[in-house]
A and B are shown apart, each in its own frame.
Chain A
């Protein structure tokens, strides 16, 4: 019995040490992912990625529009992310125009056909400019990135998909000679 008690204490101590070491991590609490022990919890992992700049710190407020302190139509977090890129100003502008248009898509009255059309035209022009300013093949993944960072909460996703649904069956004619600067 004494031996069992001693072994039990030892096992607990070892377990505590392993947990405390966090698998060689910098002392974070650890967690699990799908039942697999991890050195960090998801929250800690996201914080780590955000601190190292591998993941932008995104606005997750309840507001669909999010914070836009300079009122230029581009959410501040997205603007910071775009500005942090080494791209040319014209390239950054095309991404900001896209985020601005997607922001409008999430807040537009989907019963207002003129407003819907205006938003669709804004998205179209932003897409054209991103292709015009980036090298071949580079614009599409960047557009994907801006879309996912802009539409980053459930409420924003729902609003955005409502817009896309309202667009079902519509047409869009390409625009030539767009000046992107």
Chain B
């Protein structure tokens, strides 16, 4: 874990390739976003701009739910901030590795940090890969798929049937599960993970949007911090 960290073209390519399977799932999700954006009345340019600038699927879908005329600008921006607060935890968890890289590269790469690229990068770095460009590469793959899918969804409108019938929605869960297996260090992880699961499930029932990720992550990690299992 204390290995030298690099930032190479090879690392970026490794990330780009690793992200391909999940990018298919993200693409299916992006098509759904494009279809709904069109139904909501966003032009292709507006939907594509949102996907290119915000690049955070859940918050974009939530925004569509609030998208009425006249636009509630403040509510849209605040809601987006809240839905995406989980990124703060994710970014903090990458600090031990990224801190050794030039700031410009880190801040550029972090633009492309989404749930999937974060999880894959974490897996690569804890596995001893040691290349920070993995985040940029995996994020860029997802970015391209996300933008393309948004466009397809906007243009195809109602023609697309439910992409979940191909099991693509499970791709996210499967990737996160496989990465979690790699993080398992022993029984000390059990209680923090259980706390995270219970809080996340409860929050997903009682709170809207993506609060459950932030709250479950906080609960589980705090239990971990106070157990000092290692």
A binds B: no
By a beta-carbon cutoff of 8 Å, the part of chain B in contact with chain A is: none
